[in-house]
Chain A
Amino acid sequence: MTPVTPVVEGRAIVRDYHVPGSMLRRAKTVRAVKGIDFSVQKGKTLAIVGESGSGKSTLARIIALIDAPSEGELLIDGQRVDIAASRPGPALRSKVQMVFQNPYGSLNPRQKIGDVLTEPLVINTDVPAAERRDRARAMLQKVGLMPEHYNRYPHMFSGGQRQRIAIARALMLNPSLLVLDEPVSALDLSVQAQVLNLLADLQDEMGLTYVFVSHDLSVVRYIADEVMVISEGEAVEQGPREAIFANPTHPYTRQLFAATPVTDVDAIRARVARRKAARQAVA
């Protein structure tokens, strides 16, 4: 059997940021991503986990074709992509779309929802206006909103609804790969559950591939097939979700797991007992 071409593949991806110098300070180069390899198969979810400053969002922006890598190759559907050499055309843009963390910031407050959704079609396709409208209305229903929301403005929606709109916008071009940068971390727990369910449904229905950036291990455990733990620009651990959660080998992964609060009843019982004992010792 021939191996299936991954939807997205990265080979030794490096990203440098140049901090310009001044009279008193020498210019320096910060290496935010230090040679990361990965690949994701169709219909699967790769979760990138790390803390602030780890380079996870930089990597996400490279995969979403927003920034070019300084070194290394990025392959989409087996084709080498180099956005530094040539701007990606409509076909490539349609394949890869992104959803950002903050739905309050990622939607233009002066743009009606209908325009938000049809804009990608206007820019990248020559679909006629009537069909654009129909597609936008259908997409609103698909993400759990109503067709009559078409003429409303972003401020009329709650955070969870706005994130649904951002997801709808990303799906308008029928992408095969969706890059989600902390899509649920600005949302309340109950809304987070709804959005995660929606993402799971859409993945099944449309055969989507996800690259899911998150700092929240409990969300990752729920949604990921493959997990990459990144720290200071390096992928310290990479593998199938079950393996990483069952047996984290890298010290940083273990530290991350140890710091994540546990809501397990036995753990709480043990903590309450410890506290009681400490109090009695004082008294």
Chain B
Amino acid sequence: MSLLTIRNLTVRFATATGSFTAVDGVDLSVDRGEVLAIVGESGSGKSVSMLAVMGLLPDTATVTADEMTYDGQDILAMTPAQKRKLIGREITMIFQEPVASLNPSFTVGFQIEEVLRFNLGLSGKAARDRALELFRAVGIPSPEEKLKSYPHQMSGGQCQRVMIAIAIASNPRLLIADEPTTALDVTIQKQILDLLMSLQEDYGMGLILITHDMGVVAETADRVVVQYKGRKMEEAEVLDLFENPQSPYTRALLSALPEHATGDRLPTVSDFFTEEAAR
């Protein structure tokens, strides 16, 4: 059974020059224990649709959907109090810039214990022990000392591990990761992706991975949704997507990968759209 179901999601932003549609009639669903990748370039609406689920969009945004349900409960009809019970506990999120996501004025230990206090009602030693346990689970070296560190004293990769520890603190059933490795080096990217995948398997979480990187998709996803300019272009099992892409946009994206270059020139997305138009 699906964990999160979204039907016909539209997000509009009121701007000085009129309304701008960032997400246009997108359908999505993710099952328990499934890894769904949402892939697209900047402006494709891939982040906005998930921010809409989390209720993190600014007031200028209008969100409409025929259906937005989590485990059978209607998210759109929820009161703020009901939403607070769900968001940040059952559904959690990590972001692209791990260093910017943490508060520079507090130790990372304080920040993870804060989450444990608010969401799980743990305090004092119980919170400290659980924080330590979580730091170990995400592979932070010498966790006792690191709890006392400030974000600027840690590397980008370690900060992302802290963010992941905070995100899994409440044993969520759905984790949304928005470009979690884009700001990191490739060797660190591999470590973080491996960590996310092993946590996903151990905890049986649903994982939505938002990315622009086809390489990340290839290494992690079960199923893939391709978005372009706010619309869903294609949805497929990961192998089908790479083996036999149906939409011209997906084909264009895949052939624009430098490793797929044939001859001297890289095909570009606009080449594909002209080709399609000529047909």
Measured CB to CB, the residues of A under 8 A from B are 51-52, 159, 188-194, 196-197, 200, 215-219, 221-223, 255-256, 258-265, 267-269, 271-272, 275, 278-279
Contact = CB atoms under 8 A, between A and B. Distances in A.
Contacts of A218: 215, 257-259
Contacts of B243: 265
B216 A189 contact: no
A65 to B, nearest CB: 28
A190 B252 contact: yes
B216 A261 contact: yes
Nearest to B197: A275
A261 B219 contact: yes
Contacts of B253: 189-190
Interface of B: 33, 41-42, 185-187, 189-190, 201, 212-216, 218-219, 222, 237-239, 242-243, 252-254, 256-261, 264-270
Given A52-B185, A192-B258, 19 more contacts: A51-B185, A159-B42, A188-B212, A189-B41, A189-B212, A193-B269, A194-B268, A197-B268, A200-B265, A218-B215, A259-B187, A260-B186, A260-B215, A263-B215, A265-B242, A268-B242, A271-B219, A275-B222, A278-B201
Contacts, number: 102
Contacts of B270: 190, 194
A221 B238 contact: no
A51 B243 CA distance: 31
Query: 6 closest A-B pairs (Cβ-Cβ)?
Result: A261-B215, A190-B269, A222-B258, A188-B41, A259-B190, A193-B266
Contact of A192 (B256, B260, B267): B256
Given A197-B266, A218-B258, A263-B259, A189 B214 contact: yes
A259 B258 contact: no
Given A259-B187, A268-B218, A268-B238, A221 B264 contact: no
Contacts of A216: 258
Q: Is the interface of B mostly helix, strand, loop or mixed?
A: helix
Given A190-B41, A268-B242, A255 B259 contact: no
A194 B271 CA distance: 10
A193 B268 contact: yes
Given A193-B267, A197-B268, A259 B256 contact: no
Contacts of B258: 192-193, 196, 216, 218-219, 221-223
A20 B239 CA distance: 54
Nearest to A269: B239
A218 B266 CA distance: 12
> Residue among B186, B238, B261 with the most chain A CB within 10 A?
B186
6 contacts: A188-B212, A190-B253, A191-B41, A217-B186, A263-B242, A263-B257
